[in-house]
Each structure stands twice: as C-alpha cells, then as structure tokens.
Amino acid sequence: MSLEVFVLGTSGMQPLPGRFLTSAMVRREGELFLFDCGEGTQVSLKMLNLHWKRINRIFISHMHADHVTGLPGLLMLSSQVDRSEPLYIYGPEKLKDYIDANRRLLDMYINYEIKFVKTEPGIVLETDQYSVEAVPLLHTKPCMGYVMKEKDRPGEFNVEKAKELNIPCGPMWGRLQKGQDIELEDGTVVHPEQVLGPQRHGVKFSYITDTMYMGHIARHVQDSDLLLCEGMFSRDLSQDANEKKHMTSTQAAMIARDSNSKKLGLIHYSPRYTDKELQILKEEACEVFENTVLCKDRYSFVLNNPD
Ligand SMILES: [Zn+2]
Ligand SMILES: [Zn+2]
C-alpha cells in the first residue's frame, strides 16, 4: 500500500526559470493521476521520465491560467499515441468549454475518448481500492481541492496458521481474507482475526490550492500522510493573501497542524520571492508545524503505511 507523489511545479501565477506552475502527479499501482496542469508540466514530466501516455485521470482545481495552460499541449501530445482507455478530466464546468474550444481551434485529432466530469463537493471517484474527494475552497473563482484516500485492507493472511487450524486451501481462505467467518466440516467456526494480521491502513494525499484560509479544510484533509498546500505569502503579507483569496505559509501550517497531517509540502509560491527568500515561508510555517517541506520542482514523496 503505497503511492508516490511527484511535485511537477511550485510557482503560482507565473512560471519562473526553474519554477514551473503548480502541478502534481500521483503514481499508484501503475496508474497516473495529474492534479492541475500549468505551463511547464510537460517539461517536468519529461525530466522525471514519467510516462504521460499513461495518465488516466486529470483533476483541475479551477479555471485560472496558471492551472490549466499546460493542458492543451498535453492533450495534443496524447493525440499521437494509441490508447484504448478513455482519459477522465475532472474540474469546473468551464473546463469542458476550454477543452472543446482548444480541440476545435487547434485542430486536435484525438483518437480516444475524453470523459469530462464536472466536480461537485464530495466523492468524485471511487473504486474498491481508493476514493478521490473534491473539497470546496474559497477563491476568486470556483475552486476545489482534492483528497485521495486509499481504503484500508484486511491484514496479511497467515498460511501457517490456516494450516494449523485445518482450514482447507480454497474458497474458505478467500472468505476469511474478506473478513468473513467460516465453518469447518466438524462445526468449528473460525473468525478472520485468527488467521489475519493487523488491518493495513491506506494512505491519504491531499492537494489544496488556491484558497483563502478556512477552518473546514482541516476536517477534509484530516490525517493526511502528505498535505500539499499553497503557502503563497509570508506572514507580513497576510492582508494581501486575504484580499487575493490566497494563504500564507503560516495558514497552510495551521491546516496541517489542525488536521493532524504527517507532512506538509508547501507549493504555489508568489513569484515575488527568489529561491533564497522562499526560506522565510518555510521558517514561518515550521513555527506552527514542524514537519514542513519547502517543495521545489520535481521533489517526490513516497507515502507508505507500514501497518
Ligand atoms: Zn494559482
Ligand atoms: Zn487561482
């Protein structure tokens, strides 16, 4: 049970040399999930040798240029590959118009299906292994954060123990693995906990940008293994952050602390800060939440839950 998170870009508003626009990718069991797609996303994918052809789902937070201008290029590239599975794109209503207009104006020939899903707050995708929830944010345009959570799985099946209890190999093993009681021929009832190790907890990844600070965000991202969160400004610009409906790194840290998250990765920095000046964002965040990482482009994280 693990997933990898690749930070593809960390800049807000404007791409800078060495700092592309905010975007992140999750790799899980061979599936790729892209969160936002600003200018430069493709370059980071290339540098990380991530196979964009295998992107299964794209989640867009909102319709500001710094989060969507990389999308036409990515779709154009994808049109040149053979692909049988559809590409799912999640986002606000206007995103569909944007994609359709780009396809028309740029004469994109796309030989696979693009399935657009308008995001509403709540679960937007659920499989038997994980779910993705859209979290309503408060920005100058309709905006959603996304939370990807793996489902907990039963503990490991102890073969030795099963043999010891004379449980015949076959469907009974499967039922125990699914957490069901079974009855042996002699009438003995075996409970799953007799042959299963402790439950294995899924990991949780949260992606929150762009928004002003709101207390309810912490509830949605509760117990994240990694919270990627905008920390656009330093504390002295709190007023600016508020007016522009963005957050300071201190506010991002408050969300990490209040949600009991394990790690905070700061992203979406104001282009006003040089790389050196970004340190202040980290220092201020660390005063509130110690396990803060000042993400740089192409940082990656492995989220693993040993239990
Ligand atoms: Zn932005
Ligand atoms: Zn924005």
Domain termination site, one of 194, 220, 253 = 194
Q: In which element (H, E) is residue 241 found? A: helix 238-243
> 237 and 261, same structural domain?
yes
Ligand with minimal distance to 268 CA: 1
Report, as residue numbers or ranges, the catalytic residues. 66
CA of 32 to the centre of ligand 2 (A): 24
> 272 and 218, same structural domain?
yes
> 179 and 248, same structural domain?
no
E-strand stretches of the chain? 2-9, 23-28, 31-35, 55-59, 87-91, 114-118, 122-126, 130-137, 143-150, 182-183, 189-190, 204-208, 226-230, 264-267, 292-294, 300-304
> 144 and 242, same structural domain?
yes
Domains contained in the chain, number: 2
Q: Report the pLDDT averaged over residues 77-94.
A: 85
pLDDT, residue 80, reads 67
CA of 250 to the centre of ligand 1 (A): 18
CA of 192 to the centre of ligand 2 (A): 49
Residue whose C-alpha is closest to residue 56's, from 136, 145, 144, 148: 148
CA of 12 to the centre of ligand 2 (A): 8
- Average pLDDT of the chain? 93
> 210 and 251, same structural domain?
yes
The rounded distance, in Å, linking the Cα atoms of 68 and 175 is: 46
pLDDT, residue 54, reads 82
> 122 and 237, same structural domain?
yes
> 50 and 190, same structural domain?
no
> 188 and 135, same structural domain?
no
167 phi and psi angles, rounded to 5 deg:
-90, 120
The rounded distance, in Å, linking the Cα atoms of 217 and 210 is: 12
Indicate the pLDDT class of residue 151, thresholds 50, 70 and 90: very high
Give the residue numbers spanning the domain of 261: 2-153+200-304
CA of 179 to the centre of ligand 2 (A): 45
pLDDT, residue 78, reads 72
Ligand with minimal distance to 245 CA: 2
- The string of DSSP letters for 250-294 reads HHHHHHHHHTT-S-EEEE-B-TTS-TTTTHHHHHHHHHH-SSEEE
> 93 and 166, same structural domain?
no
Ligand with minimal distance to 230 CA: 1
pTM: 0.91
> 125 and 7, same structural domain?
yes
> 131 and 250, same structural domain?
yes
Q: Look up the CATH number of the domain holding residue 33.
A: 3.60.15.10
Q: Report the pLDDT averaged over residues 15-21.
A: 94
> 143 and 118, same structural domain?
yes
